[in-house]
Amino acid sequence: MSSPLAVCFVWHFHQPQYQDLSTPKAVLPWARLHCTRNYTMMLHVLELQLSAARVAELDMDKRSRLVAMFFDVNQERVVEQDSRYHQLSLHRSEPIKTWSEQELRDLQCLFTRAWTDSGALAERPEGTELLGKHRDFTESDHETLVHAQHDLVRDFLPRLAALCRSGQVELATSPYAHPILPLLIDTDTAAAVQDTPLPHPAFRRPEDALRQLQFGKDYMEQLMGLPISGCWPSEGSVSPQAVSEIARAGFSWTATDEDILLRELPGKPRSLLYHPYRAQTTAGDIAMIFRDRALSDAIGFQYASMNTDAAVSQFMRHVRGVRASLDQPGMLSIIMDGENAWEFYSGGGVPFLRALYEAFAGEPDVKLMTVSEALKSVPASDMPSFRPGSWIDGNFRVWIGQDEDNKSWQYLRNARDDWGHFTPEEQDRSLLSMFAAEGSDWNWWYGRERTAATSVQFDDLYRRHLTNVYTQAGHPVPDQLLETVLDSGPSVIAIEPAGLMNPNIDGGPGMYLDWSPGRYFRPESGGGAMNSGVPAVTSMRIGYSLSAIYLLIQLTPEMAATEDLRVEVRLSSQLEMSRFVVQRENGMITGWTEPPGDADWALQKTLQIKLPFATIKAHRGERVTFAILVSGGGRLVATIPVRGVMALQLPDADYELQHWEV
C-alpha cells in the first residue's frame, strides 16, 4: 500500500528593482504588468507612463516607443487571435507619422488589456464590454483599463494576506534585492561547479548576504502583517555557508533544485528526493526541500502546448508514480516562476490551473499542503554534504564567468568598497541602491545570454543603481560608472544562404538537395576558456525558408554519444531572446524552446533543427543573431562561434520578387 504524499507548490513571484531609486518612477513596467495579469490570475483561481498617457499628449518619440514596446505579448495566443492586434502588427514597421491616433489608442488598449487578468476585469461593471471590444477604443475605455490595473496592484497584497490567514497558502520570501547568495558571500564559490574565469580580486561580502536576508524577511513581515518562516533563495542558489546565513536570519526552511541533492547521492533511488532534509549549520538546523525538476519544467515549458485534460492527466500520472514509490509519508515539491509560463497557455493558464486543482481534490492519499504543513507531517533525513549551485544547470554560469559578467562584479566590488567607507548616515541614505545593485538580474543580461535591446536597458539600470549609491550619499560618481559594462559589440559572422530550403527533419546525414542552399560552416576548435580544444562539432549547414530557420549540426561521434549531451542554440531577434535546447538525461533525449513555442528536431547521425520565425519572435527582413553551446561530460565543451555571434538576415517581404526566375 502506498504512503500518503504531500504536494507543495512554491510559486516564485520575482521582478527586478525596476525603479530608479533616485526618483519615484519605474524605468520599466514589468512588475506592474505581471502583477495585473499573472499574479492576480493565480490569486483569482484560488479564491509606465506610456500605457497611462492620453495618445494626443504623446510626442513622436513617445509614440515610437509605444509602438516598439506594445507588441511585447504572446504572438500566438494574443496578437494572432485578435484581428485588430494582428492588423496593427503588420503596420509596426511603418513610419510613426503614418499611425493615426485611433490606431495608437487601439494598440495601447489592446496591450493593456492583454496584461490584465481577464477574470478580474470581467467582474467590473464595464469589464465584459471591454473584453469583447477589438477596435475603436475611446479615451474612456483607456482610462477604465488603466484604473483596473491600478486597482489590481493596490488590492493584490491584501488579497494575498487574506489567503495566508485562511491557511490556504503560505508566504515565503527571498533576500531583499534577489542577490545570488553564494556569490555575494564569495564569488570564488563558483569555482567548485564551473571552470570559467572568475573576478579577481574576488567579491566577498558575507555580511551583505545576511543583511539582505534579514531585510527581506523584516520588510515582508511588516508589509503583510504575517510571520514568515520560509526562504526561496534567489534562483535556488545555495551553498553550505548561504544555508547557514538563511538559518541565521531566522528562517526555518529553504528550497532549491533537485540537482543540488541528487548529485551527492549517485546510484541512490530517486525516491530520496521526496522528503525534506535537515541541514545542520553554524546557526542551527534548517529544513531543506528540493523541487521535482521534470514536473516543474513541464508546467513551465511543455503543458502549454497540450490539451488541458491531457496535460493534467500526465501531471497526475507522475504524482501517482511518486506516491507509489514511497514506503513512508512523502513530500513532492513543484517550484517554478509564477509568471512566465501563463502567457503561452490557452486562457492565460486559468483552465489548466482549475483542472489541476480539481484533480487533486479527488486523488486518494495525495493532499495539497503548504510547505510548513508538510514539514510537520513528513519525517526529515540528515542533509549530506553538498556543493554550491543554483536551479539553472546546478552552477552559476548565468551570473559569473564571462567577460561582461566579471566586469560587472568589478563595478560592484569597487562601489561596495567605497560604500564601506561612507559615514553611517551616508550608508543609510544609499542602502537600498546598494542592495539593488547586488541583485541577480543585471548579470542575467550580460554575456551570451543578452540581447542587444534588453541588455542596453538592464546595463543602464544597473549602472543607475550604482550611481545612486554615490549620489544619494553625496559623493561624486566615479568615471567608471559612465562607461557601459557591455563590450564594444561581439564580432559577427554573416551567414548568407544561397536560397530557400525546406528539408525533412529526420536526423539523417542531410541529403545534398535538401540542405545544399544552406550555408556550410566549419567551426573553429578551441580558442577560448569556454572551449575544450577538442572539436565537438565538425560542420554545420544553416539556412531558411520563408517561415523558419534550419540548422544541421554534425557532432563528433564521441560527443553525440555523451551521456549528458546538451546542445543549446541561443538566438536574439530584434525584441526577444530565445533558445532551443536538446539534452540527454537519464538515457532520454528531450528538446524544448524557451519561451515555449513550436520547433521540430531530430538527433541521429546529425542534429537537425527547424525553428519557425514565430517561435523566436522574429519577422521577415530582420537580422537574427545566434550562438551554439555544446556541453558534455559535466562541462561546457564548445561555443560556436568561439567569439561573437553568427548573424542571419531573414528573407524580407520582397524576397520572392527579388529572386523570381522564369
Residues 6+ away with beta carbon under 8 Å from 38: 117, 338, 339, 342, 343, 348, 349
Per-residue pLDDT, 47:
46
Per-residue pLDDT, 124:
83
Residue 398 to residues 158, 235, 448, 597, Cα–Cα distance (Å): 35, 10, 9, 22
Percent of the chain residues past pLDDT 70, beyond the cut: 88
Rounded average pLDDT over 509-518 = 79
Residue 115 to residues 32, 121, 348, Cα–Cα distance (Å): 9, 11, 10
Residue 621 has pLDDT above 60, yes or no: yes
Count each helix (H run) and each strand (E run) in the chain, helices first. 24, 20
Q: Alpha-carbon distance 323 to 555, whole Å?
A: 40
The secondary structure element, H or E, covering residue 169 is: none
pLDDT tens digit sequence for 574-611 = 878 898 999 998 889 999 999 899 999 999 989 999 99
pLDDT tens digit sequence for 439-448 = 998 998 888 6
Give the three cell numbers for residue 4.
Answer: 500518503
Residue 644 has pLDDT above 80, yes or no: no
Residue 408 has pLDDT above 90, yes or no: yes
Strands 230-231 and 253-257 turn out to be: parallel
Query: 357 or 526: which carries more pLDDT confidence?
Result: 357
Q: Alpha-carbon distance 565 to 578, whole Å?
A: 20
Q: Alpha-carbon distance 251 to 333, whole Å?
A: 18
Rounded average pLDDT over 634-658 = 78
Per-residue pLDDT, 527:
33
Q: Which of 77-86, 322-331, 449-458 has the lowest mean pLDDT?
A: 449-458
3-state percent helix, strand, coil for the chain, nearest multiple of 5: 45, 20, 40
- Angle, CA 611 vertex, CA 345 and CA 609 arms, to 5°: 120
Q: Alpha-carbon distance 579 to 625, whole Å?
A: 11
Query: 17 or 446: which carries more pLDDT confidence?
Result: 446
| Cα Rg of the chain (Å, integer) | 25
Per-residue pLDDT, 510:
66
Per-residue pLDDT, 528:
32
Rounded average pLDDT over 423-446 = 94
Strands 253-257 and 284-291 turn out to be: parallel
Asked whether 333 and 282 are in contact (CB, 8 A), the reply is: no
Rounded (10°) CA dihedral 559, 560, 562, 568:
80
Per-residue pLDDT, 50:
65
Rounded (10°) CA dihedral 416, 421, 423, 427:
0
Query: 110 or 523: which carries more pLDDT confidence?
Result: 110
* Residue closest to 283 by CA, chosen among 241, 248, 237, 323: 248
- Angle, CA 359 vertex, CA 357 and CA 361 arms, to 5°: 75
Give the three cell numbers for residue 78.
Answer: 494574443
Is cis: bond before 269, omega within 30 of 0? no
Asked whether 603 and 610 are in contact (CB, 8 A), the reply is: no
- For residue 271, report the phi and psi dihedrals to the nearest 5 degrees: -60, -15
Residue 119 to residues 41, 76, 114, 150, Cα–Cα distance (Å): 7, 20, 12, 15
Residue 132 has pLDDT above 80, yes or no: yes
The residue type found at 37 is: R
pLDDT tens digit sequence for 198-230 = 999 999 999 999 999 999 999 999 988 999 999
**Buried (b) or exposed (e) across 423-445, using 16+ Cβ within 10 A?**
eeebbebbbbbbbbbbbbbbbbb
pLDDT band at residue 525 using 50, 70 and 90 as cut-offs: very low
Per-residue pLDDT, 534:
52
Per DSSP, what are the bridge partners of residue 628?
569, 640
pLDDT tens digit sequence for 304-344 = 889 999 999 999 999 999 999 999 999 999 998 877 777 78
Residue 556 to residues 386, 420, 540, 565, Cα–Cα distance (Å): 33, 52, 12, 12
Residues 6+ away with beta carbon under 8 Å from 615: 578, 593, 597, 598, 599
Residue 599: Cβ-neighbour burial (10 angstroms; 0-12, 13-18, 19+): buried
How many CB atoms lie under 10 A from the CB of residue 278? 15
Per DSSP, what are the bridge partners of residue 592?
581
Q: Alpha-carbon distance 210 to 204, whole Å?
A: 12
Residue with cell 508514480: 321
Q: Alpha-carbon distance 407 to 635, whole Å?
A: 23
Q: Alpha-carbon distance 226 to 220, whole Å?
A: 8
Residue 619 has pLDDT above 70, yes or no: yes
Per-residue pLDDT, 259:
95
How many CB atoms lie under 10 A from the CB of residue 256? 26
Query: 144 or 72: which carries more pLDDT confidence?
Result: 144
List, in sequence order, the alpha helices (H) in 474-608.
512-515, 557-560
Residue 240 to residues 19, 140, 188, 190, 204, Cα–Cα distance (Å): 32, 56, 14, 13, 15
pLDDT band at residue 31 using 50, 70 and 90 as cut-offs: low
Per-residue pLDDT, 260:
97
Rounded (10°) CA dihedral 55, 452, 181, 583:
120
Per-residue pLDDT, 35:
59
Per-residue pLDDT, 374:
96
Rounded average pLDDT over 103-132 = 87
HSE-up of residue 179 (Cα within 13 Å, Cβ side): 33
Rounded average pLDDT over 631-635 = 71
Residue 137 has pLDDT above 80, yes or no: yes
Q: Which of 106-110, 143-147, 156-160 has the lowest mean pLDDT?
A: 156-160
Q: Alpha-carbon distance 192 to 54, whole Å?
A: 54
Residue 291 to residues 61, 236, 328, 586, Cα–Cα distance (Å): 46, 10, 19, 17
Q: Alpha-carbon distance 483 to 463, whole Å?
A: 9
Per-residue pLDDT, 27:
59
Residue 56 has pLDDT above 70, yes or no: yes
- For residue 362, report the phi and psi dihedrals to the nearest 5 degrees: -105, 15
Secondary structure (DSSP) of 594-632? ES----EEEESSSEEEEEETTTTT--TT-EEEEEEEEEE
Q: What is the 3-state secondary structure (H, E, C) of 303-314?
A: HHHCCHHHHHHH
Predicted TM-score (pTM) above 0.75: no
Average pLDDT, the chain: 87
Q: Alpha-carbon distance 166 to 570, whole Å?
A: 44
Q: Which of 6-15, 416-425, 610-619 has the lowest mean pLDDT?
A: 6-15
Per DSSP, what are the bridge partners of residue 389?
238
Residue 23 has pLDDT above 90, yes or no: no
Asked whether 33 and 21 are in contact (CB, 8 A), the reply is: no
Per DSSP, what are the bridge partners of residue 552?
541, 608
